[in-house]
Every structure is written in structure tokens, then in C-alpha cells.
Amino acid sequence: MNLRGLRVLITGAAGGAGASIATCFARAGAYVHIADIDARAVKALAAGPEKISASVCDCGRADAVDQLFEEASAALGGLDVLINNVGIAGPAAAAEDVAPEEWDRTIAVNLSGFFYCVRKAIPLLKQAGGGTILNVSSTSARTGLPHRLPYAVSKVGVLGLTETLARELGPFNIRVNTILPGWINNARANSILERKAKELGVEPKVLMAEELQFISMRTQIEPEEIAEVMMFLCSSGGRHVSGQHIGVCGNAEYER
């Protein structure tokens, strides 16, 4: 897909699915600037062949996001696409055992961080005559996820952010959509599966087969699949798609 010349900022993009998304956009001809809190991973991705520029940023802090946008604007010369991808897992605990500081940090990164980026991106997108905001949520926003209350609530909040921004920004030719990834086939997701299997005393392949029963298409999702949907939404083909929550998940029916 040809996205030549598109100016793209992606948060949480130095590793995992974010790094795959950044690489795919760069290979499609976009100018890409990434942000991540992991300084070593940021340096490694920026040193790659795709000529991606980068910033170290804690997106859960408004002042850090202000600095990010100064650096991104200087590197890109403007903005056409913001991809709010940053996110943390938050605590795994019963609701009554979640510490207030764990709640605050999860909401700060996964929801407030999106707002901090949006408020800085909107003037740049208006200046460009329009553009795209993609907010990454999770299938957990639809299924719920026991013992992961801060995470699930933050991801539900992202849906409301998208719906409201789509209405507010539509007249300015800025389209806003949500991506809901499913169970991604990468090192992070697979390590979680292996740890859970060890705790339960079962083989990882046995647990994987059980978990896949809750996905209609019985499949994990490759990071590149998420990037491909995002690239379509940022292309001329997606020029009238806005206010939508798009699952890239094989239809996740349930989580446990």
C-alpha cells in the first residue's frame, strides 16, 4: 500500500506490535516518528534501515507529550496521522486489591496519554487540511476481563474518546477510528501464555488450544495484519471511514 509522504506519529512503537506497525508504514513510504518509554528499544529501531525518527517519552505525563510533539513536528514538518498505540497491562488483581496508584498509572498511560497526544495533534491535523487519528483499544473493551479492571476500563474509555472525537473533528476532515487487536502472535503475548500455562501446570500448546476456542476463527493475529488495516484507514480507500471500532481479532467472543 502506497502511503508515500504521509507524516505519521506512533506512540508505544519501539517494540511489540507497535514496532511492526512503524516498520510497515515506513516501508509503504510514510515518514514515521515513534515514541516509547524504552530508551534502548527506541535507539535500536531508529538505527534500522527504515529511517524512522524517534523520541523517548512517557506518554502518561502531559509535559512529556508536549516535548514529544515539539520533537515530532521538527522531524516530520507537520502531521497527517496520529496512532495512539501506547499501553500498559496494569495490575492483575481482584478489584478490591488494586492499589490506587496502580489504577492511576494504568489510566494515565492507556487513556489520559491518548488525550494528551490528541490535544497536541489536532491543531497540526487541522493545519494539514485533515488527517487520521487511530486509537488502539482491545477486545477486552467488548468482552470484559476479570482481575484486570484498570486495563479493561481504560480500553472502554478509548471507545468513547473515538466516538466523541469523530463527531467533533469530522467537519475538519479528520477521521477517527479505533482498532481492537485480538490475541497477537508475538513474544510478549506468547510469554504471557507460557507463564499462565506454568502456573496451571499444563503444556502451553494445551492452554493455547483452550484459549483459541473463545476466538471464532481459532487463530492468533499477526502484527502485520493490524498494520495493514491501519494503512488502509490512512489511505484514500479509508477516506470516509470514521467513528468506527474495528476488531482485528478473528472475532474474539470471550476472555478469561
The number of helices, as runs of H, and strands, as runs of E, in the chain is 10, 7
Which residues in the chain belong to E strands, given as ranges? Answer: 7-11, 31-36, 53-56, 81-84, 131-136, 174-181, 245-248
Q: How far apart are CA 168 and CA 2, in angstroms?
A: 28
**Cβ contacts of 37 within 8 Å, gap of 6 or more:** 56, 57, 58, 59
Copy the grid coordinates of residue 130. Answer: 485533515
Angle at the Cα of 9 from the Cα atoms of 8 and 15, rounded to 5 degrees: 115
Give catalytic residue positions: 151
Residues 20 and 221: beta-carbon distance below 8 Å:
no
